[in-house]
Structure 1
């Protein structure tokens, strides 16, 4: 954890010397960064693109996130870059530490690493200014570098791609005078635990559509309170896979920095139940 806290501190420093304040989009419209690297919340992407660059500008972010639940910890670092508020390119490196599961299985392996590369395209609309929601389409390619435990659990492959459609809209004054954010996602995937336990399984080896959603209320232009929901596949007989939920607070003190803290409920993860805990993410924009 110390290594990732150090990365977070470096990102804080990077944020305060960035050029993000000179970009044209309004604060918080670049969203935070998901653990997969795309602009969004913590576990659910949004139609928004990262950074604050508008039509004639580019911009992006670097991020670090950390999740702690009773039997697992997960860290993610990476960044994204967006061109003219039209296309977003993202990269993330994830590491899941699972000492309890390793001890139960009698194996020395203590962590699983996964790399994620993504592209998101804004198709139409604007999250603030258009009558209809902003609509974006994304594709991700995920590669699991440590397939021993996923393979033993019944996963069919260590790499795969997935696609999603996201629709996002901020309704000005939409919740008792406060600005209301609503976001919905349809994801086409067969990832087990977002790919950290491989892809496909003995119960199902086909991609299917799954629903994700997030919503929040802006207390002011800097502070957002909300919740997320992520429907999950259940491909493995080895272990059930529960849907994920979060309750979060996101703080955007300026265009250079974003901080997110959340309560997370992951349910059962690889035979270990009641995996609820906390999440912290920091993002520096440039």
Structure 2
């Protein structure tokens, strides 16, 4: 997965110079690449439409990211297209490796594909009174159903998350610096975002969970912030904790975004206190 994504990043970077010499959005407002492919923060989707295209334009982004905590490594490659600042289509390929079991008889590699759709319903990130509100869905397919269903007791190897996000960027709000706040409500039956399957032995068992993000732009090129993501915790055999992170984002120019974060995933399956780092590189048009 990594090599094809690197090729796509290179092509997008080269092509962006020919497609758009200037952007229609403020630097950083294309957002980052969320783990499930949508534009947003690292773990939470925002109401933003990815890419720097505005009304009557299109934009695209691709990213490679990695999360390494005490017992897990999660690698993700994403691509997305934003159309008319109204519609976003995305795709993510996730690979989770359990370090402790990688050399044992247990298949310790779990892969998942996520197809995303997001539509801006109303509002504007900056220029209207109301926040920008978008409705999205993420269709997820776990490629290793034996682990999720036979070992952990999940109900299914696929599921659909539906979410509503509201995002607002206030210019010169705090000491002359821009501030972004996002709130997301998600309806999901995914265990550990789907990497441990969907639902439980009693059925699909959807739950409404809350997610949030906040970021302070220190200047046009640097932002700091944090995120929180509530989890459904539906499997009786293992525990699932809420996730949170604290991040630093660098936007050297409209085409490149680099993010580093400290992440705390809490308890994941049989392993508790899963803490570590997150790094992502995104190319945007």
TM value normalised by structure 2: 0.93
- CA 5–166 in structure 1, closer or farther in 2 if over 3 Å, else same: same
- CA distance in 1 between counterparts of 2:199 and 2:262 reads 28
Residues 187-210 of structure 1 show CA distances to partners (whole Å, capped at 9, x for unaligned) of: 000100000000001377321110
Give the number of the structure whose residues are more often strand, by fraction: 2
Query: 2:230 maps to which residue?
Result: 231
- CA distance in 1 between counterparts of 2:180 and 2:251 reads 15
List aligned pairs for 1:145-160, cutoff 5 A.
145-151=143-149, 152-160=151-159
- CA 252–44 in structure 1, closer or farther in 2 if over 3 Å, else same: same
Pairing partner for 1:112 from 110, 113, 124: 110
List aligned pairs for 1:147-226, cutoff 5 A.
147-151=145-149, 152-202=151-201, 205-226=204-225
The count of aligned residue pairs is 282
- CA 278–12 in structure 1, closer or farther in 2 if over 3 Å, else same: farther
TM value normalised by structure 1: 0.93
- CA distance in 2 between counterparts of 1:237 and 1:100 reads 23
Task: Give unpaired runs (5+ residues) of structure 1.
Answer: none
> 2:156·2:197 contact (CA, 8 Å) conserved in 1?
yes
List aligned pairs for 1:93-104, cutoff 5 A.
93-101=93-101
- CA distance in 2 between counterparts of 1:56 and 1:6 reads 30
Query: 1:79 maps to which residue?
Result: 79
The alpha-carbon deviation at position 14 of structure 1 amounts to 4.3
RMSD: 1.9
> 2:118·2:136 contact (CA, 8 Å) conserved in 1?
yes
Instruction: Please state whether the residue corresponding to 1:148 is helix, strand or coil.
Output: helix
Task: Give unpaired runs (5+ residues) of structure 2.
Answer: none
- CA distance in 2 between counterparts of 1:263 and 1:7 reads 24
- CA 33–129 in structure 1, closer or farther in 2 if over 3 Å, else same: same
Pairing partner for 2:130 from 122, 132, 138: 132
- CA distance in 2 between counterparts of 1:268 and 1:204 reads 23
The alpha-carbon deviation at position 4 of structure 1 amounts to 4.0
